[in-house]
Structures are given as C-alpha cells and as structure tokens.
Amino acid sequence: MTDVLILQILLILSVGWMLGYMFSRFGLPGMLGQLVAGVILGPPILGLIYPSVPLNFIADLGIFFVMFHSGMEMDPKELFEHFGPSLAVACGGFILPFGLGYLGCVLFGGTVHQGLFMGLGVSITAIAVQMVILHSMRINQTRLGHIIIGAAIADDILALVALSVLCGVAKTGSFEALSVAIILAKVFVFFVATFIVGYFILPRFTRKLHDREGRAFTFAMILALVLAYLAEHAGLHLIIGAFLAGQFLRRGIRDDHLFMSMLDRFFGLSYGFLIPIFLASLSFHLVLSWDVSFILFALVICAAAVFGKVVGCGVGLKICGFSFWESTIVGFGMNGRGAVELVVATVVMTLSHELMGTGVITTPLLTEIQFSALVLMGFLTTLITPMTLKWSVMRACRADEKATFCQLWQESHTPTQTWPVHKS
C-alpha cells in the first residue's frame, strides 16, 4: 500500500511539474498543468490513479496549509478595511448563481429540493482554489485580492449555513427558525472566541517564540489545528480556522526573520508538495459522458455558474463605486470552485441515501447525473478562471498601467524578482 501511494505521489508531482512548466511557457498559470495532470493520470483518461483515503487526506492537508499560509501572507487590516465591498460581492455572487442554478435544474425536470441543492452547489466559491490562483498571479496582496478573499470567506459561510438549513428542511419537511438561530449563534461565538484568543491571549506566547528545534513551526501547527477543529464544530469548514490562525500568527510574531523563515517553510510545503496533489485530485471524481441530455444539462449549469458569479459579483462591487474592469476582475476571480462544492455535494448525496433508506423521502435530493454535472462544473470553472482572470487583468492594465495589481502582475512574469511581505 505504501509503495503504491509513493508511486502515485511521484507520478502526480512529476507530470504536474512538467505540464505546469509547459503551461507557464505559454504565459498561463502553472496550476493549470497540475489540474490537467489529474485528468490524464486519473479515472477520466489513463486511470493510473484513483481516489483513496491517503490521497484524499493529503489533498485536504493541501487546502489546509495553503489557507494557513495565505492567512500569514495577507494583511488583516486590509481585509477589514474592505469588509463592505467584500460583503456586497459575496451577496451578489451567492444570490444570482443560486437562482440561476435552481432554474436550470428545474427546467431539466428536477424537483424543488434538487433545484435548491443544485443552486447551492453553483453559488459556492472555493476559497482555497482562489488563493492558489491569486497567488500565482501575484494579485493576492492588492486591494482587489483582499476583496476577493474576503468575499470568498463570506460566500463559504453563507453556503455552509444554507447547507445546514436545507438539510434540516429535507429531514423535517419544514423550516425551523430555531435551528437557523443556533447555527448563526455558533458561527458568531466562533468568531468572537477566535478574536479574543488571537488579539489578547496569543501575543503572550508568540513573544517568546524562537526557531530552535522547530518549536515555532510546531506552535504554528498547534494553533492552526485548534482553530480548524473549532471551525468544524461551529459548522464551518476547517480552512476558515486555518486562515484565521495564519492571520493571528502574522500579527503576533514581531521577529521579522522568524516570520519570514516560517512563511517560507509553509510556502514550500503547501505550493511545492501538497497543492499539486490537491489540484490533481479535483479531477478524480470527474465523469465524462457523451449522453446528449447530460451534456446539455451540464452546459446549462456551467453557464449559470459562470454568468451568475461574474455578473453577481461584478454588480455587487460596481455598486460600491469601483470601475467596470475592477468589477470584472473580481467577478472572474470569484468564479473558481473545485473544493467546497464537492464537499457539499457529497454531504447531500450521503444524506439523500440515508433519508431514502429510512423512507423519509422517495426522490433523491441529488441524482447521480446532477452530482456529475456539479463535479464537471467545479472542474471547468477552476480550469477557466486563471485564463479569464488573466484576460481581464490584461485588459484593465491597458487603461491603467499604474494600478497595483498591474505592477504585481508584470512582476509575476519575472521569476527572479521577489516582493516584500509587510506585517501589520
């Protein structure tokens, strides 16, 4: 078993590295090569690698580490300053895709419950995937990058709360306000508790951190795992806890050398090892069918996902006074999926089997065709987001070459350059 796992990891990293290099030679993000590596090596084409518990665990570690690293890299003050635009983008990018996904499912004969769950799957933005895309284009530290990340966090919270509500409705057949209030209370308590720990308790420990024997690294891991565990118990995803842990650690460590050393370690571990496996694993659930009805349904769902995100998020930011191209960049930047919607779809499929087995429902909450369409939508939107985001940034930079994201975008094409990380 161990030798098979090692061989699978070796294949993913090797093929992903080579394809990533080829994509970068054509001016495209290298992460596309890692996505394509999963398609080639996985079930869709060669079938050399299949989903397994060890690989799924490594993929989950990938999104955990990339969110922790992203939290360390981003300025929490910038996120807070752009709270209003981020919330507007999240609301627009959640409501419109949700409605379009619901209509698309119902038009193809889906039930009300199926339409609601399909709408939910379409409305999600995968924050971990967004961080990888934004980081590869060096716009994660710009104003627009902070807005996209803040909006993605809010979007994921909305989606996970909506999932709990819809699952409750599916179980009982009615909307229970008390259960919704409990969910919101748990989320509120989680954020308040983490704020208190991060701002008042954590600095007492970080002041004494040193890099001997890797103790600072171990402390960072303990903090990230604790907050990830608490986030899961609050009904949120572990990646939100990991991101907050990175934010607090960034604020707490005052030794610049120690901070940069830890940032470099987490960067290498996440982007150099775990993220290629995570990106490749996104294709493992991909089902390619040439049935005409499935192709039409999948195209409608993909169109609803792309149009809903780009227009919904773009309009939300335009209302806040941003330019057309800034709104377009954020709209395309919010379009990536590929992680959280798979978790949601799997939870719904599991609940559907349980409820049908006990006779609570007679029609599945999601059919296999609908599940496959969601997986395909998630993969395609993840695949096209780097390309559409690059196009929108290039068009925007023609009009405003001095924009911060334009300068950082140009730096991303110069491998020898580095950029400073300014701590708060």
Q: Which two tokens stand for residue 262?
A: 């830890």
Distance CA 141, CA 76 (A): 11
Bigger pLDDT: 182 or 415?
A: 182
DSSP 8-state assignment for residue 419: -
Distance CA 163, CA 352 (A): 13
Could you tell me the maximum CA-CA distance found in the chain, to the nearest angstrom? Answer: 63
> What are the distances in angstroms from CA 29 to CA 10, 243, 352, 398?
21, 23, 38, 20
Per-residue pLDDT reduced to its tens digit, 111-164? 999 999 999 999 988 777 778 888 877 777 788 888 998 898 888 888 878 888
Binned at pLDDT 50, 70 and 90, residue 173 comes out as confident
Per-residue pLDDT reduced to its tens digit, 27-48? 777 888 888 899 899 888 898 9
Among candidate residues 201, 274, 290, the one with its CA nearest the CA of residue 239: 274
Bigger pLDDT: 266 or 282?
A: 266
Distance CA 332, CA 384 (A): 9
Binned at pLDDT 50, 70 and 90, residue 231 comes out as confident
Q: Which two tokens stand for residue 190?
A: 């989680």
Residue where the block lists tokens 């990533």 = 20
At 413 the pLDDT is 53
Contact (CB, 8 A) for 33 and 25:
no
Contact (CB, 8 A) for 133 and 333:
yes
Give 266-302 as a DSSP string. Answer: HHHHIIIIIHHHHHHHTTTT------HHHHHHHHHHH
Per-residue pLDDT reduced to its tens digit, 361-381? 888 999 988 988 988 898 888
307-337: b or e for each residue (b if 16 or more CB lie within 10 Å)? ebbbbbbbbbbbebebeebbbbbbbbbbbbb
> What are the distances in angstroms from CA 192 to CA 185, 199, 230, 250, 251?
10, 11, 12, 19, 17
Distance CA 397, CA 385 (A): 18
3-state secondary structure of 175: coil
Q: Could you tell me how many helices (H) and strands (E) the chain has, helices first?
A: 19, 0
pTM comes to 0.80
SS (H, E, C) 129-146: HHHHHHHHCCCCCCHHHH
DSSP 8-state assignment for residue 201: I
Question: Which residue ranges form the domains of the chain, and what is each CATH number?
Answer: 2-411 (1.20.1530.20)
Q: What is the mean pLDDT of residues 164-176?
A: 79
Contact (CB, 8 A) for 123 and 311:
no
HSE-up of 405 (CA within 13 Å, CB side)?
Answer: 30
3-state secondary structure of 162: helix
Bigger pLDDT: 330 or 173?
A: 330
Contact (CB, 8 A) for 47 and 36:
no
